[in-house]
A = this chain, B = another copy of it.
Amino acid sequence: MTDQTLPPSAHATVKRGAKRARYDAETLHAILDAMPLCHVGYIIDGRPVVIPTLQWRDGNTLYWHGASTSRTIAAAAGQDVCVTVSILDGLVIARSAFNHSVNYRSVVVHGRPRLIDDPVHKEAALKAMIESLTPGRWDALRPMHPKEFKATGVLALDLDEASCKVRNGPPVDDAEDYALPIWAGVLPLHSRWGTPEDDSRVQPGVEPPEAITAFPQGPMFRGL
């Protein structure tokens, strides 16, 4: 991903609402880093299947994981997939049904992911997953058992065919509708982390690390 502001390919060009499209790396990375939940589209037995999972990013590459033996890992490695990340920021309530909208930030990535076989790369990717959510946590965890490492499949997809869409602001009504005595505006949606809930079996005197208590001020769900 360079700092391009044009679509990387015809395939990755936003087709509807093109004025809301963005292709720059700053916007792309900010949305991906703000929302770990993604929806991955696979083709399985000739049908589309959309599965929610967590994604994380390392530079120009997006990652996700699953059970090594899962049908989704099998359907992804070297096959066309589509990974979509969406943040709903509010309802846009207009003076007519037609002009209703939503404020949102979204990313759509196309491509053929690679299953990471190299153990050094795979461990680095799994470490990056934990660290992207809770910085400094990897070294505090019980180390991975070899059977856990083997049971985990990690997929990597370069961000070469990615597009973003962003909508902000008030409704855009028809010119003549602004004179109508109808309320219009935005109902914002806020997502934020609550207070950490201790597992009841945490050993006495063990407190949550700062990476977790500091989460509400952390990097997730940042605005652009």
Chain A residues proximal to chain B, CB less than 8 Å? 15-16, 36-37, 39-43, 46-52, 54, 66-67, 70-72, 80-84, 86, 88, 90-91, 93-98, 100, 102, 104, 106, 108, 110, 126, 129-130, 133-134, 137-138, 140-145, 148, 151-152, 170-171, 173, 177-203, 205-209, 212, 215
CA distance A95 to B206 in the complex (A): 12
A103 to chain B, nearest CB (A): 10
A16 and chain B: residue at smallest CB distance: B70
Known: A50-B108, A95-B142, A96-B142. 4 other contacts (CB 8 A): A16-B70, A43-B43, A98-B151, A183-B198
User: Given A50-B39, A189-B193, A191-B191: A15 and B177 within 8 A (CB)?
Assistant: no
In the complex, chain B residues whose CB is within 8 Å of the CB of A40: 50
Q: Are the CB atoms of A50 and B207 closer together than 8 Å?
A: no
Q: Which residues of B contact A50 (CB under 8 A)?
A: 39-41, 50, 82-84, 108
Interface centre among A43, A93, A130, A209 (most CB of B within 10 A): A93
Given the known interface contacts A183-B209, A186-B196, the answer about A88 and B51 at a Cβ–Cβ threshold of 8 Å is: no
Return the chain B residue nearest A143 by Cβ. Answer: B96
Q: In whole angstroms, how far apart are the Cα atoms of A197 and B188 in the complex?
A: 8
Q: Is the CB of B183 within 8 A of A206?
A: yes
- How many copies of this protein are present in the complex? 2
Distance between A139 CB and nearest chain B CB, rounded to angstroms: 11
Q: Closest CB of chain B to A91's CB: distance in Å?
A: 6
Q: Report the nearest B residue to A101, measured CB to CB.
A: B54
Q: Please, which residue of chain B has its CB at the minimum distance from the CB of A72? A: B16
**29 A-B interface contacts by CB (under 8 A):** A15-B71, A16-B70, A37-B88, A39-B50, A41-B50, A42-B48, A46-B80, A47-B82, A47-B110, A48-B81, A50-B108, A52-B104, A52-B106, A95-B141, A96-B141, A96-B144, A97-B129, A97-B144, A170-B197, A170-B199, A170-B201, A183-B198, A183-B202, A184-B202, A186-B199, A188-B194, A188-B197, A189-B192, A190-B193
